[in-house]
Chain A
Amino acid sequence: MNIFLVSFIGALCSVDITAFGQFMIYRPIFCAPIIGFFSGDVITGLCIGIISELFWIKTIPMGVAVIIDVSMIGILSTFWACTYFPGFKDAAILSILLAIPFVYLYRWIDILGRKLNVKIMYWVEGGIKDVKNWRIEIGIWSGLLFFLLRAFLFYLFAIAVGGKLLCDIYAGLPKYILEGLAKAWYLFPVVGFGVAYNLTNIKSFISEGFQK
């Protein structure tokens, strides 16, 4: 799959988190299998999607919180795993682990980008005062464009750098660690279910819901 196309799909998913729509296409349960399907290994995409969704099930943009881009974990790890090591379970787990620092780096960039929005907001407000109402539309479109552009550029960077890192790290790992990673392929979803059980309101439903 072309890295420009993956970056564009990834950027669209990132925009869905806050800037436009909130159609939930950014959830790993959706975007990871889709990337896996187009990369020719839908099962890897599906498993990465399930693992990422379970671990970050509570990562949702509530209130003023700027969350990590969970779609990036699903998309980057699926693309790396399907492109460089198709069918390798240990490499798929390694790619999920490798995606985590990239996602936190992008969150930092995202926060900086949102600070720029304050300046655009004042520019729009000044425009309304001067009866230049067209600035409202320009402000909204530029905000959306900046969201899209920074995600697209970051995806290009992460795919290229991360892919190289994944290959180098994988080649240098001893056999027992690779076996451990392959075992984690089966255990991570179980861990994810434990995490999801704790983070969602299933606990409170069991204690309160049945009493109702």
Chain B
Amino acid sequence: MIKLYARVFIRSFFLQSLWNYERMQNIGFVFILRPIFDVLYTVEKEKKEALLRHVGYFNTQPYMVGIIVGIVASMEKEIAKMEPANSREIIRDMKRVKSNMAGPLAAIGEPFFYGDLRTMLSFLTMAIMVIFATRLAEYIILAPIVFILLYNSLHLWTRISLLYEGFKYGGNSMKTLVHFNSMSDILRFGVFVMFLAAFSLYLAVFGFSNEGRFFNSGYIDLFVYIAIFLFSFFAASKFGPIFSMFSVLIICIIISVLGI
């Protein structure tokens, strides 16, 4: 059984390998389920029908797919034991569960992982890089590696635990998702703290270094940085990041032309 879980777990990384505009992750989902169907269905016709049940539209956050796979596997296990005529209702329920879960799971997973966790760790890595750049430059390459290790420890734990819970508890495994809600507030606070840390460290180390200074007065430099920060904040909200980038570039060129 562990071998089967391991195969399904490894296959879950391929969920989007054949991502397509019509049915998104459908073939990836079938690819994950295939080892389970090989065990559940010995009659080729039944296996074919089971596979065809899952080639319809499917799209969710890739890290969260394990719980749907687990629930679908437990329902397919029941279907495999039934006579085909009696399984219509459970097949309908399974399709409903699958389609109704994919959207909400994506709505939980995407802001949690892509929005908060990754952003917080990005700012943390920037802060580490800035500190290392001045004192421990030879170890600076460790900073991005720390980013990947920290992010993926939670990412892989989520994949493993959701798949396990889905297999073990079937439909009851949904209660596991409560943890995401409680952790999301902590992460949002973490994003805020790490942003402040990274930004203030950058200004302290690079912004007010001899090379980074625009004027001789520290107060005027600070004013320039705050003005640029506020300008890019408002310009990004109105016109996008690339507009902010090119606007500041033009400002820099004008400063150079004026010889300031």
Partner of A63, one of B59, B122, B230, B251: B59
Partner of B148, one of A25, A63, A190: A25
Known contacts A114-B21, A190-B232, A194-B230, A180 near B253 by CB under 8 Å: yes
Asked whether any CB of chain B lies closer than 8 Å to the CB of A18, the reply is: yes
Contacts of B236 in A (CB 8 A): 194-195, 198-199
Over the window 81-112 of chain A, the binary record of Cβ atoms lying under 8 Å from chain B Cβ atoms (1 yes, 0 no) is 00000000000010001001000000000000
Asked whether any CB of chain B lies closer than 8 Å to the CB of A202, the reply is: yes
CB-CB nearest in chain B for A55? B241
Say whether chain A's binding surface is mostly helix, strand, loop, or mixed: helix
The reply to whether A143 and B18 form a contact with Cβ atoms under 8 Å apart is: yes
Interface residues of A in 172-208 (CB under 8 A from B): 176-177, 179-181, 183-184, 186-202, 205-206
The reply to whether B199 and A193 form a contact with Cβ atoms under 8 Å apart is: yes
The reply to whether B256 and A180 form a contact with Cβ atoms under 8 Å apart is: yes
A3-11, A43-51, A155-163: which lies at the B interface?
A43-51
The reply to whether A136 and B30 form a contact with Cβ atoms under 8 Å apart is: yes
Q: Complex formed: what's the CA distance from A93 to B248 in Å? A: 12
Known contacts A29-B125, A33-B143, A177-B256, A143 near B202 by CB under 8 Å: no
The reply to whether A190 and B242 form a contact with Cβ atoms under 8 Å apart is: no
Partner of A62, one of B14, B114, B119, B256: B114
Contacts of B244 in A (CB 8 A): 191, 194-195
The reply to whether B233 and A194 form a contact with Cβ atoms under 8 Å apart is: yes
Interface size, B (range): 35 or more
Say whether chain B's binding surface is mostly helix, strand, loop, or mixed: helix
Asked whether any CB of chain A lies closer than 8 Å to the CB of B204, the reply is: no
Interface residues of B in 193-247 (CB under 8 A from A): 195, 198-199, 202-203, 206-207, 211-212, 214, 225, 228-234, 236-237, 241-242, 244-245
Q: Complex formed: what's the CA distance from A58 to B198 in Å? A: 17
Chain B residues at the A interface, C-beta cutoff of 8 Å: 13-14, 16-24, 26-28, 30-31, 34, 44, 47-48, 51-52, 55, 59, 62-63, 106, 110-111, 114-116, 118-119, 122, 125-126, 129, 133, 137, 140-141, 143-144, 147-148, 151-152, 155, 185, 188-189, 191-192, 195, 198-199, 202-203, 206-207, 211-212, 214, 225, 228-234, 236-237, 241-242, 244-245, 248-249, 251-257
Chain A residues at the B interface, C-beta cutoff of 8 Å: 18-25, 27, 29-30, 33-34, 37, 42-43, 46, 49-50, 53-57, 60, 62-64, 93, 97, 100, 114-115, 117-118, 120-121, 124-125, 128-129, 131, 133, 136-137, 139-144, 147, 176-177, 179-181, 183-184, 186-202, 205-206, 209, 212
Instruction: Give 9 pairs: A residue, B residue, CB < 8 Å, sorted on A.
Output: A19-B19, A24-B155, A64-B24, A137-B31, A143-B17, A144-B18, A183-B252, A201-B115, A202-B192
Closest 10 CB pairs of A and B: A194-B232, A180-B253, A143-B18, A179-B256, A117-B20, A183-B252, A191-B232, A180-B252, A194-B233, A186-B212
